[in-house]
């Protein structure tokens, strides 16, 4: 590390910046997971992108997202950034001090963990329960976008990232709804 960089950076700051950078990547990965999930539900099937590829990628990306989400959660806690505690990451109403954006994030985290656990135990949980829990991924993703929009001070890159993510999910949702509508027309 150069002297200039060392002057600028303490361990606390390094972890706070790691929290920010991993947050960007987690949001993109969650969006990619959502898009792949919507394409799976829309039964996308082409020679290059068979259903097996789309579904497997959806699963793998969701697990990678969760792994990186833990980096995003633990970095500010370990660094003691702004007095954040581990409980804030999981309990939305733990204390009156934390911002609404952090509450949105902890709610999203809870939902993402619930979706992951139920998906891993899908056979035991049963299809109906799994599907019901899986539908909350829309809420979890929306809360993650709200968290990203409101938190932090670097507005422009965050808003650009948000816009791309929202557009991607909107397009995939449009595809999903079109397939559903077409199927309903064909098999009334």
Partner 1 sequence: MVQRSRLAARETALSRVRTLTVATIVVSVIATIGIWAAIVIASPRSDTNQAPGLSGSWTGRSSARTGPRLAAGTTWEAQLQPADSGPVLTTKTARTDRT
- Name the residues that contact partner 1, by CB under 8 A: 5, 7-10, 13-14, 17-18, 20-22, 24-25, 28-29, 32, 50, 52-53, 56-57, 60-61, 64, 68, 71, 80, 82-83, 95, 97-98, 154
Residue 60 or 183: the one with the smaller Cβ distance to partner 1 is 60
Q: What's the closest the beta carbon of residue 26 comes to partner 1, in angstroms? A: 9
Q: Is 179 exposed, middle or buried (0-12, 13-18, 19+ CB in 10 A)?
A: middle
Q: What's the closest the beta carbon of residue 48 comes to partner 1, in angstroms? A: 8
Residue 20 or 147: the one with the smaller Cβ distance to partner 1 is 20
Q: What's the closest the beta carbon of residue 95 comes to partner 1, in angstroms? A: 8
Q: What's the closest the beta carbon of residue 185 comes to partner 1, in angstroms? A: 30
Contact 26, 83 (CB under 8 A): no
Residue 105 or 133: the one with the smaller Cβ distance to partner 1 is 105
Q: What's the closest the beta carbon of residue 66 comes to partner 1, in angstroms? A: 12
Residue 119 or 136: the one with the smaller Cβ distance to partner 1 is 119
DSSP state of 83: G
Which residues neighbour 36 within 8 Å (Cβ) at sequence distance 6 or greater? 54, 55, 57, 58, 61
Gap between the Cα atoms of 97 and 163, Å rounded: 29
- Please work out, in degrees rounded to the nearest 5, the angle formed at the alpha carbon of residue 67 by the alpha carbons of 148 and 15: 60
| Neighbouring C-beta atoms of residue 46, cutoff 10 Å | 9
Residue 57 or 113: the one with the smaller Cβ distance to partner 1 is 57
The candidate with the shortest Cα–Cα distance to 82, out of 32, 13, 140, is 13
């Amino acid at each position: 590390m150069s002297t200039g960089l060392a002057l600028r950076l303490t361990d606390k700051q390094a972890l706070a910046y790691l929290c920010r950078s991993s947050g960007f990547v987690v949001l993109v990965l969650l969006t990619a997971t959502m898009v792949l999930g919507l394409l799976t539900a829309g039964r996308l099937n082409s020679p290059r992108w068979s259903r097996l590829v789309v579904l497997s990628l959806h699963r793998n990306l969701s697990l990678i997202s969760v792994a990186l989400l833990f980096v995003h959660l633990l970095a500010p806690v370990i660094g003691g950034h702004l007095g954040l505690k581990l409980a804030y990451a999981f309990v939305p109403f733990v204390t009156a001090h934390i911002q609404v954006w952090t509450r949105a994030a902890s709610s999203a985290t809870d939902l993402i963990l619930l979706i992951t656990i139920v998906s891993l135990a899908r056979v035991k949980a049963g299809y109906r329960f799994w599907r019901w829990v899986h539908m909350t991924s829309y809420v979890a993703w929306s809360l993650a976008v709200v968290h990203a929009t409101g938190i932090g001070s670097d507005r422009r890159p965050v808003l650009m990232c948000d816009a791309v993510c929202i557009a991607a999910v909107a397009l995939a949702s449009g595809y999903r709804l079109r397939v559903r509508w077409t199927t309903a027309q064909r098999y009334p």
